[in-house]
Chain A
Amino acid sequence: MKIVPIFVQENKREGLFSIHLDNEREDEATKCIEHWLLNSQYLYDFFTLHQDDLNSGYYGKAISIPEAINYTQIEAEYLFAKLERLAISGTNKGNDTLSTAFQPLRDLDYTQTLLQQVKAKTKIKKKWLRIYAIKIGPNTFIVTGGAIKLVGKMKEKNHLLKEKQKLHDIKYYLKEEGILDQDNFEVYEI
């Protein structure tokens, strides 16, 4: 596994990074762009498979698969533009940083502390896209993956559980590399 830079300062200590898993063509952040903006069939297959969740009422009235694809692409554009803006402005002192976009992953965890597992959310009509990341510093985030979340809890769906597992795996990796210590790990376990 590698950690690749997306938007970074020269010293590679601040900014947005992503993990790139072995045997994968692209890193996890780039895969989000491919899936949500550049692959209609991926979205069509996803919403066909999860049509019951789409019609469950969790996100309001039931909508068609083409409508769901449209909403996803609008949200994705907004989300990526926001990440880009914050990642760039966050390198200047006094400006908003990535911390304003990412929120704590656990519903009860209100404070943003270092080394949290966090998710980036958007403020538009259908907000089902998630980008998961681990926070290393005030403006240093590593993207571990992304998902379309049509249900309330991650444990309800396999594809969300996989993302959760990835977060755990990356935390172990960072711990082994001496970036996280045992206390950090215990405190921020999901």
Chain B
Amino acid sequence: MELSDRLEKFEKLVSNEPSNFLSKLEYYRTNKKWLDKSAMVAVNVLEALKTKGLSQKDLAQKMNVSAQQVNKILKGQQNLTFETISKLETALETSLIEIIDFKAANTTFDISNTEERVNSALRQMKKAMPNVKKQVVVYEKKIALIKDQKKTPLSSPFKNS
């Protein structure tokens, strides 16, 4: 059978109704950031349910929500609120997400104005150097003195006896 005949027959079979493939793919891409996070929470909830031997129905009862809502959460399709996450955490007696402590994060990881800070430290060191050098000279003299004293023999207490 010729290719053109085959494609002509095929064309007649194709529905006018398009697939939802592209719209679903577009939906995923547009909402990827929260969908990926929602999926991670869903997997953690599923793991917690398995570990604790709880059913989805048990979870719905503990959270006081519908089975449909739990179903949506477990699919990773729910744009979760803090309220829902807290309900999940309470029901499962586990932590599902971690909020970074803003102040602690700043103290530990702040690398802004690094160049300015390094330069300031160098200026302070430079300023302190003359005093440090003077101090070093004093210490060196003291050390030399101590060494000389050790070399000089002590006078005998019996010299004149």
- Residue in B closest to A37 when the chains form the complex, CB atoms: B28
Q: Could you tell me if B6 and A5 are in contact, using CB atoms closer than 8 angstroms?
A: no
| B87 within 8 A of partner (CB) | no
| A124 within 8 A of partner (CB) | no
**Given contacts A11-B11, A181-B1, are A4 and B74 in contact (CB under 8 A)?**
no
Q: Could you tell me if A178 and B28 are in contact, using CB atoms closer than 8 angstroms?
A: no
Question: How close is A41's CB to chain B, nearest CB, in angstroms?
Answer: 4
Q: Which residues of chain A are within 8 angstroms of B75 by Cβ–Cβ distance? A: 38-42
What's the dominant secondary structure at chain A's contact region? mixed
Residues from 6 to 49 in A contacting B, C-beta threshold 8 Å: 6-8, 11-14, 17-18, 20, 26-27, 29-30, 33-34, 37-42, 44, 48
Q: Could you tell me if B43 and A6 are in contact, using CB atoms closer than 8 angstroms?
A: no
Q: Which residue in B10, B17, B74 is a CB contact (below 8 Å) of A2?
A: B17
Q: Could you tell me if A178 and B74 are in contact, using CB atoms closer than 8 angstroms?
A: no
| B25 within 8 A of partner (CB) | yes
Residues from 1 to 44 in B contacting A, C-beta threshold 8 Å: 1, 3, 6-11, 13-15, 17-22, 24-25, 28, 35-36, 39, 42-44
Chain B residues at the A interface, C-beta cutoff of 8 Å:
1, 3, 6-11, 13-15, 17-22, 24-25, 28, 35-36, 39, 42-44, 46-47, 50, 71, 74-77
Q: Give 10 CB contacts A-B under 8 Å.
A: A6-B22, A12-B14, A13-B10, A20-B15, A39-B76, A40-B75, A44-B42, A66-B47, A69-B43, A136-B6
